[in-house]
Structures are given as structure tokens and as C-alpha cells.
């Protein structure tokens, strides 16, 4: 296996580890809010907003820019954060559409449906973050 493939696999594993924390944050918020009677789409939206901040921080520091020598300017941080939100927004919209299909059309539990979505959204998020949001200039 080439060095580039090994690095890509390691990067995907790190992305996955960060994703576990994002997922834990998102699902914890989702389940707490659903338990409190909040609509599942609104609960998913709130969890999304909070978990993307976590995703940005750890992906920037740990996954995609681990060899960074200088601190980013505020402008660079805001630009990257905007790209991260844009890439996660795509999968957020997809996730909500899929939640609607799973829960309202296929009668899958609103407790199980978000877990099914992860199988679809994690690979998409990695590709979008690697190739666009954190792409090195």
C-alpha cells in the first residue's frame, strides 16, 4: 500500500473518531429534545448546529491541518467555518429528508432513523470536508 493511501486511511479514521464525538453530541441533543417533546426535525436541527461547531474545531486541529505551524487569521477561520457549515448543511438537509422518509413513510422509529442516516452521511461529509472545506491552497 502506498504512503498516500495509508495517510488517507489514517485521515479517514481520525475523521471517524471526530465523527463519533459529533454524533454523540448530535444524538444526545436529539434524544433529549425528543424526550422533552420537541419535534424530531427541530431536535435534529438544533443538534446539527451545535455538533458542526465541534466538527469544525476538531477537523481543523486534528484531522486536516495537524501540521499547521501558524495560527489562522479570523478571516481564514470564518471562511473555513462557513465551508464546513455548507458541507454539513448538504448532509443535514439529506438527513432531514431521509428522517422524514424513514419515520413518516416507512414507519421506522424516530429513535432508529438517525442511526440509519449515519451510514449515508459520514462518507459524504468526509469527502466534502477533505476535498473542499479543508482543502489546502
The Cα–Cα gap between 99 and 92 comes to 10
State residue 109's pLDDT score: 93
In the chain, the percentage of residues whose pLDDT exceeds 90 is 31
pLDDT tens digit string along 95-107? Answer: 889 999 999 999 9
pLDDT at residue number 112 = 92
Q: Which residue has the higher pLDDT, 67 or 115?
A: 115
pTM above 0.85, yes or no: no
**Which structural domain, as residue segments, surrounds residue 29?**
3-133
The pLDDT, as a whole number, for residue 36 is 97
Measured CA angle at 121 (ends 82, 20), to 5 deg:
85
Under 8 Å between Cβ of 125 and 91: yes
Q: Number of H helices and number of E strands within the chain?
A: 4, 0
For 120-132, what is each residue's pLDDT tens digit?
888 888 898 888 8
Calpha distance 133→128 (Å, rounded): 7
In total, how many domains does the chain have?
Answer: 1
Amino acid at each position: 500500500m502506498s504512503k498516500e493511501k495509508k495517510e488517507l486511511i489514517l485521515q479517514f479514521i481520525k475523521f471517524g473518531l471526530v465523527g463519533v464525538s459529533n454524533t454523540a453530541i448530535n444524538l444526545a441533543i436529539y434524544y433529549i429534545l425528543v424526550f422533552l417533546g420537541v419535534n424530531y426535525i427541530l431536535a435534529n436541527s438544533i443538534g446539527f448546529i451545535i455538533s458542526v461547531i465541534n466538527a469544525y474545531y476538531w477537523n481543523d486541529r486534528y484531522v486536516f491541518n495537524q501540521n499547521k505551524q501558524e495560527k489562522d487569521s479570523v478571516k481564514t477561520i470564518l471562511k473555513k467555518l462557513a465551508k464546513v457549515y455548507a458541507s454539513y448543511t448538504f448532509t443535514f438537509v439529506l438527513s432531514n429528508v431521509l428522517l422524514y422518509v424513514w419515520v413518516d413513510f416507512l414507519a421506522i422509529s424516530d429513535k432508529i432513523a438517525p442511526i440509519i442516516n449515519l451510514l449515508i452521511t459520514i462518507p459524504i461529509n468526509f469527502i466534502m470536508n477533505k476535498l473542499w472545506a479543508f482543502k489546502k491552497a
